Structure 1
Amino acid sequence: MAYTETSTTGYGTRVGNSFRAIGSGLLLFVLGTALLWWNEGRAVKTEKMLNEAGNAYVEMENPNKKDASLEGELICGTAMATTEDSLIDAQFGIGAKAIAMHRTVEYYQWVEHAQEKSEDKLGGKEVTTTTYTYSKEWVRRPIDSSQFKDPAYQKKNMVLTTVEDAEQYAENVSFGAYKLSESLIHQISSDEGMELAISEDLLKQFDKAAQTAYERFYGVVKKQQPVQQQQPVQQLLIPDSVRALLSDSAKAVIDSIQAYNDSIKAVTDSLMANAENKKDLAYIHQAGNVLYYGRVPGSPEVGDVRVTFEKVVPAKVTVMAVVDGDSFKPFKAKNGKRFQTLVMGKKSGDEIIDAAKESNNALLWIFRLVGILMVIGGLKGIFGFLSTILKVVPFIANIFGWGIGIVCTVIGIAWSLIIIAIAWLFYRPLLGITLLALAGFLIWVFAFKGKDKLKELAAKAKQKGSATASVTEV
């Protein structure tokens, strides 16, 4: 069931907040502008660096043998990344010969979700209704439920244990006859699940601690009755002298009965063995590379924890970097930008450069979009007080606010295009001039065409206001 909370903000408070928002709006506008300028320069410098790298690299034909002629050269080579280092997770007592080890932890918790709905009232007040809903989810950090709004869900969260995420990397990773640098090692992504060889004594410690935490929160759980010792299945012992007198059909019946008894005994022995092995591990379970804290892994309860262990195994990789002795270092372009990369599998140098250019272009448009939205949001924050002042009459304020939103959007886009164009003028004048022309066109449309639209909206608002006044007099 949802829990709702209603709050009312007075007209004076809203106006005051809108004036205070001018400062944050101005800051957002400046930051958005700076982001747009920086992003264009970053993208152009990165593209020039990639073009330079694409023309400079040479293929490393045999990484398994050192080649003195490649010293200081930007190379592209493919080989197996291997290591002899052994990594150990001391907390769980497990280890492996691996390039890296990762421990990931999740907690089953109540999660609070809030949804707000605001409504303007005549006179300038604002009524905000917040609806809180709750659901059980696997999350990466324990959640403090004492701060939940709904009293029914407060202090409903607990954890059977707390474990930190962890990762460690091998120091010595070979790439043929060379060694990979630390930054290149971190780019290897050949993850696979680890085998959990946790000692029985340690598992029992975990189990006891988890049981204590569980019973402290949920109370003592009634233990299941132990599996009763089954009476041994009686064997049919028939002397050979008697068996020789029986018919073939009788012998077949006796053999089938004996086989049935043997199968029943095998099932019983298996059940008893499993019950004996699990009697001390009611709260700890292992499944593949997951260690589960909780009573029933298939039916999680609040407080359950699952820890996933993975390792990075030797794999074929392709490296593009500058040879530095028996290792590698980043390529430094003429403009100062640096570049080195490791990709999984066998790739050509051209494929790596093309992929890097695509990534650079995608990042360029992401930052452009973020920057434009920041500029528009900043302008709305600066001029938002105008519509807030008119909130005494919500209908008029909404129309005016809609108009301010349109104006801020148009100006924000035009301003962003101008900033982008000026930045590009330093690198590609033709495209910069084109963008400036587009920005000028938007300003012209707004200045000469948008003015008539705003007058039309104002006239409609005035007519509706007059109609409302007439109805009130009647």
Structure 2
Amino acid sequence: MAYQEVRTTGYGTRVGNSFKAIGSGIVLFCLGTALLWWNEGRAVKTEKMLEEAGSAYVEMPNPAKKDAQLEGELICGTALATTQDSLIDKDFGVGATAIAMRRTVEYYQWVEHAKEKSEDKLGGKEVTTTTYTYTKEWVSRPVESAEFKDSAYQKKNMVLTTVENDQQYAENVEWGAYKLNESLIHAISSREALDLAIAEDLLKQFDKNTQTAYERFYGAPKNNNQPAPEAQQPAAIPDSIKALLPDSVKAQLDSIQAVNDSINKAMEAAQNKKDLAYVHQAGNVLYFGRVPGSPEVGDVRVTFEKVVPAKVTVMAVVDGDTFKPFKAKNGKRFQTLVMGKKSGDEIIEAEQEGNNFIKWALRIVGILMVIGGLKGIFGFLETILKVVPFIAGIFGWGVGLVCTILGVVWSLIVIALAWLFYRPLLGITLLVIAGFLVWVFAFKGKDKLKELAAKAATK
């Protein structure tokens, strides 16, 4: 059942908060402006760097053999990335010969979700209703339930064990006759499940500690396990009777006896198997809890992965037996590793697309920050009119519209000035567009208002 919290904010408090928000609005406006300017410079510099790299790189036809003529050159080549380094997870005693090894931890916890709904009241008050709901989820870190709003869910969380995420990389990764630097090694993403071979003594210790934590929180569970059935031996046929039977029947009896013997051995092995009650291992997952298929709050699962040798394409500058980033004339640096076989032109094209995506994403973020800042600056005008919510709503819509238009115009001006600084031709075009929008809003809008007023007067 959802838990609700109702909070009422008086008119005076709301007006005071709206004036305080002016400072935050100014800061947000300035940050958005700075982001827009910086982003345009970053995008242009990155584009020029990629253009320079695209015209400077040479294909490395045979990475398996060092070529002194390629020293200091930006190359693009494809080879198998391999390593002989052994990586070991000291906490669990598992390891592998791999390029990287990763340990990912998840906790089964109660999670609090909050949803707010605000309503303006006559006289300027604001009633905010916050609805809290709770769900059990797998999360990346323990959740502190003592801070939950609903007392019924407070202190409902616990963990059977605490394990940190971990990631380690091989120091020596060969790529043909060369070695990859740290940054290129980290870019390899050929992950596979890591086979677990955890020592039995360590598993027993984990099981004991997990049981202690479980019983401390839940108490000792009821043991509903029934004793395993004992292996049943078929009644033996006396040799005197068996001798009187036909050979075909004797063969069938011997076959049945062999099947029974194998079943008895399997049942005996199952009875002797050391099945841990609170720690379970399945594939590359180590599970702390009673029943992996039916998790309880506090259960923990740890997943182990490794990065295996794979064919990769490298674009970087040859530096002896390894590589270093390409440095463009504008100071921007570039090196990359992609999975599989790619040509240099394909890599440059993909990087340009990525740069374009980031440019537009940051533009949108910057414009929204500018608009949000303007709304924060002028939001007090709407708040003052909250005494009559209907009028405040209409006025607030108008303020929001004006702030949106001004925010877009200002953002275009900033982008245009940035491009005027970095690329004059496009910058002038953007300034013309921004000027046109200002003219439409300032003059055409005024004429439209006069026309509406004249129509209203004649009625």
TM-score category of the 2 structures, normalised to the smaller one: over 0.9
In structure 2, the residue matched to 1:90 is: 90
- d(CA) in 1 for partners of 2:175, 2:428: 48
Which one of the candidate residues 343, 346, 370 is aligned to 2:338?
343
- d(CA) in 1 for partners of 2:228, 2:332: 73
In structure 1, the residue matched to 2:457 is: none
- d(CA) in 1 for partners of 2:15, 2:23: 14
Query: Is the CA contact (8 Å cut-off) linking 1:233 and 1:261 kept in structure 2?
Result: no
- d(CA) in 2 for partners of 1:284, 1:61: 51
- d(CA) in 2 for partners of 1:399, 1:211: 62
Counterpart mapping for 1:237-248 below 5 A:
237-239=237-239, 242-243=241-242, 245-246=244-245
Counterpart mapping for 1:48-447 below 5 A:
48-225=48-225, 227-228=227-228, 230-239=230-239, 242-243=241-242, 245-246=244-245, 252=249, 259=255, 263=259, 266-279=262-275, 281-447=276-442
Query: Is the CA contact (8 Å cut-off) linking 2:144 and 2:157 kept in structure 1?
Result: yes
Offset at 1:445? Answer: 2.0
- The verdict on how the C-alpha distance between 1:263 and 1:243 changes in structure 2, with shifts beyond 3 A counting, is closer
- Describe the superposition over 1:341-378 as per-residue Cα deviations: whole angstroms up to 9, x where unpaired: 01111111001000000000000000000000000000
Query: Is the CA contact (8 Å cut-off) linking 1:227 and 1:272 kept in structure 2?
Result: no
User: Which one-letter code corresponds to 1:339 in the other structure?
Assistant: F
- d(CA) in 2 for partners of 1:353, 1:152: 56
Query: Is the CA contact (8 Å cut-off) linking 2:232 and 2:264 kept in structure 1?
Result: no
- Describe the superposition over 1:254-273 as per-residue Cα deviations: whole angstroms up to 9, x where unpaired: 76566556545544543443
Classify the secondary structure of the residue corresponding to 1:82.
Answer: strand
- Describe the superposition over 1:231-276 as per-residue Cα deviations: whole angstroms up to 9, x where unpaired: 541353343x64454357xx54x76566556545544543443343
- d(CA) in 2 for partners of 1:410, 1:319: 46
- d(CA) in 1 for partners of 2:252, 2:159: 53
- More divergent stretch after superposition (129-138 vs 257-266): 257-266
- Describe the superposition over 1:39-65 as per-residue Cα deviations: whole angstroms up to 9, x where unpaired: 001001100000000000001111111
Query: Is the CA contact (8 Å cut-off) linking 2:18 and 2:380 kept in structure 1?
Result: yes
User: Which one-letter code corresponds to 1:270 in the other structure?
Assistant: A
User: Which one-letter code corresponds to 1:192 in the other structure?
Assistant: E
User: Which one-letter code corresponds to 2:335 in the other structure?
Assistant: Q
- d(CA) in 1 for partners of 2:215, 2:29: 54
Offset at 1:441? Answer: 1.7
- The verdict on how the C-alpha distance between 1:325 and 1:122 changes in structure 2, with shifts beyond 3 A counting, is same
Query: Is the CA contact (8 Å cut-off) linking 1:29 and 1:375 kept in structure 2?
Result: yes
- The verdict on how the C-alpha distance between 1:405 and 1:420 changes in structure 2, with shifts beyond 3 A counting, is same
Query: Is the CA contact (8 Å cut-off) linking 1:318 and 1:344 kept in structure 2?
Result: yes
- The verdict on how the C-alpha distance between 1:310 and 1:358 changes in structure 2, with shifts beyond 3 A counting, is same
- d(CA) in 1 for partners of 2:178, 2:416: 45
Classify the secondary structure of the residue corresponding to 1:417.
Answer: helix
- The verdict on how the C-alpha distance between 1:265 and 1:159 changes in structure 2, with shifts beyond 3 A counting, is farther
- Describe the superposition over 1:60-103 as per-residue Cα deviations: whole angstroms up to 9, x where unpaired: 11111111111100000111111111111000001111111100
Query: TM-score with structure 2 length normalisation?
Result: 0.94
- d(CA) in 2 for partners of 1:214, 1:264: 41
- d(CA) in 1 for partners of 2:295, 2:146: 21
- Describe the superposition over 1:123-166 as per-residue Cα deviations: whole angstroms up to 9, x where unpaired: 00000000000100000000011111111111111100000000
- d(CA) in 2 for partners of 1:268, 1:458: 99
Classify the secondary structure of the residue corresponding to 2:65.
Answer: coil
Offset at 1:457? Answer: 10
User: Which one-letter code corresponds to 1:393 in the other structure?
Assistant: V
- d(CA) in 1 for partners of 2:372, 2:81: 48
- The verdict on how the C-alpha distance between 1:274 and 1:445 changes in structure 2, with shifts beyond 3 A counting, is farther
User: Which one-letter code corresponds to 2:310 in the other structure?
Assistant: A
- The verdict on how the C-alpha distance between 1:456 and 1:200 changes in structure 2, with shifts beyond 3 A counting, is farther
Query: Is the CA contact (8 Å cut-off) linking 1:179 and 1:326 kept in structure 2?
Result: yes
Q: CA RMSD in A?
A: 2.0
Structure 1 portions without partners, runs of 5+: 460-474
Query: Is the CA contact (8 Å cut-off) linking 1:235 and 1:261 kept in structure 2?
Result: no
- d(CA) in 2 for partners of 1:456, 1:199: 86
Query: Is the CA contact (8 Å cut-off) linking 1:236 and 1:258 kept in structure 2?
Result: no
Query: Is the CA contact (8 Å cut-off) linking 1:403 and 1:454 kept in structure 2?
Result: no
- The verdict on how the C-alpha distance between 1:353 and 1:282 changes in structure 2, with shifts beyond 3 A counting, is same
User: Which one-letter code corresponds to 2:389 in the other structure?
Assistant: P
- d(CA) in 1 for partners of 2:65, 2:15: 73
In structure 1, the residue matched to 2:18 is: 18
Classify the secondary structure of the residue corresponding to 1:426.
Answer: helix
- d(CA) in 1 for partners of 2:447, 2:4: 44
- d(CA) in 1 for partners of 2:347, 2:167: 27
- The verdict on how the C-alpha distance between 1:35 and 1:412 changes in structure 2, with shifts beyond 3 A counting, is same
- d(CA) in 2 for partners of 1:17, 1:271: 74
Query: TM-score with structure 1 length normalisation?
Result: 0.92
- Describe the superposition over 1:304-359 as per-residue Cα deviations: whole angstroms up to 9, x where unpaired: 00000001111111110000111100000001000000111111100100000000
